[in-house]
């Protein structure tokens, strides 16, 4: 199966925010104006209705100040924490490598929010067809609906500097390594960010500073307890007890064990 990667070259980003506009337009996401906070960054962080964001940071480099930008969105982990902890099987992988939410299955429990090592996925409130207020998880889909039609993600098509590129895994990783060699003299700390702890991602970065500078964890990984639950306990339990019973049990386990903020949780794994 051919998988795909969005390659983000931060050295080419000029902070224009075209990717943010394209994402909002294509996915019909509501505007979320925020009060001016003294910086030129438009939003503080990602939300359930802001799926990608350009972050702005200024840093002295090579004797001068430079703006360092990052296109912040879902990384679409190969081994995704959000998928592992979902008790309803509402999150899944596609043939393209993207990680998507099935809104019909999502019950808004929020365990995916706690299970994401990148703080990407968030909950939104909406009114269902019966007029009842509900919650559900939302995030970047890597424009899977566009990929199915042979198109590229909306953010990629809008990028005028080629800071965002999209293609097959082998093609994009080769471009990333070539680009790394080209910028290494100017940016000695430059490196490819494709963390092994989540078995790699389908949004791969060329960074010029440590991951923490960009708000990224240096060694993200899925908690061991989540892996045991999803890969072993849940399949066996469903076979023996039935899907409905296991969904209830899953909610309890997610709350007591998988929640990294719960006392005694497996937060170090």
Total-model pTM: 0.83
Q: Where are the domains of the chain?
A: 1-221, 223-269
For CA atoms 10, 7, 25, 37, give the dihedral sign.
negative
pLDDT > 50? residue 10? yes
What is the phi-psi region of residue 89: left when phi exceeds 0, alpha when psi lies from -120 to 50, beta otherwise? left
pLDDT at res. 198: 96
- Pairwise CA distance, residues 167 & 238, whole Å: 37
What ranges make up the beta strands (E) of the chain? 4-9, 53-61, 64-72, 91-93, 99-101, 122-127, 133-138, 164-168, 191-193, 203-207
Among 243, 267, 265, residue whose Cα is nearest residue 255: 265
pLDDT band at 222 (very low <50, low <70, confident <90, very high): confident
pLDDT at res. 167: 97
Contact (Cβ atoms closer than 8 angstroms) between residue 13 and residue 163: yes
pLDDT at res. 54: 97
DSSP state of 31: P
Architecture of domain 1-221: 2-Layer Sandwich (3.30)
Residues 6+ apart with CB under 8 A from 171: none
Q: Phi and psi for 238 in degrees, rounded to 5? A: -65, -35
Contact (Cβ atoms closer than 8 angstroms) between residue 257 and residue 112: no
Contact (Cβ atoms closer than 8 angstroms) between residue 168 and residue 142: no
Average pLDDT over residues 194-205: 97
């Amino acid at each position: 199966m051919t998988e795909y990667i969005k390659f983000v070259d931060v050295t080419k980003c000029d902070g224009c925010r075209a990717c943010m506009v394209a994402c909002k337009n294509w996915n019909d996401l509501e505007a979320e104006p925020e009060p001016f906070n003294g910086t030129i960054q438009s939003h503080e962080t990602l939300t359930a209705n802001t799926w990608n964001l350009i972050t702005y940071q200024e840093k002295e480099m090579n004797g001068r100040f430079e703006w360092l930008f990052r296109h912040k969105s879902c990384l679409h982990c190969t081994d995704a924490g959000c998928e592992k902890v979902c008790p309803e099987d509402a999150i899944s992988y596609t043939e393209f490598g993207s990680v998507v939410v099935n809104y019909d299955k999502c019950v808004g429990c929020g365990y995916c929010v706690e299970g994401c090592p990148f703080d990407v996925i968030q909950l939104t409130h909406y009114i269902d067809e019966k007029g009842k207020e509900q919650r559900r998880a939302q995030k970047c889909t890597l424009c899977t609906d566009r990929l199915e039609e042979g198109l590229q993600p909306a953010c990629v098509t809008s990028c005028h500097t080629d800071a965002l590129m999209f293609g097959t895994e082998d093609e994009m990783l080769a471009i990333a390594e070539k680009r790394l060699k080209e910028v290494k003299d100017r940016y000695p700390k430059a490196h490819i960010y494709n963390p092994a702890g989540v078995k790699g991602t389908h949004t791969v970065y060329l960074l010029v500073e440590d991951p923490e500078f960009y708000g990224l964890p240096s060694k993200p990984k899925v908690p061991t307890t989540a892996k045991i639950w999803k890969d072993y306990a849940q399949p066996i339990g469903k076979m023996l007890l039935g899907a409905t019973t296991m969904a209830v049990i899953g909610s309890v386990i997610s709350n007591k064990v998988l929640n990294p903020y719960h006392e005694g949780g497996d937060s170090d794994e």
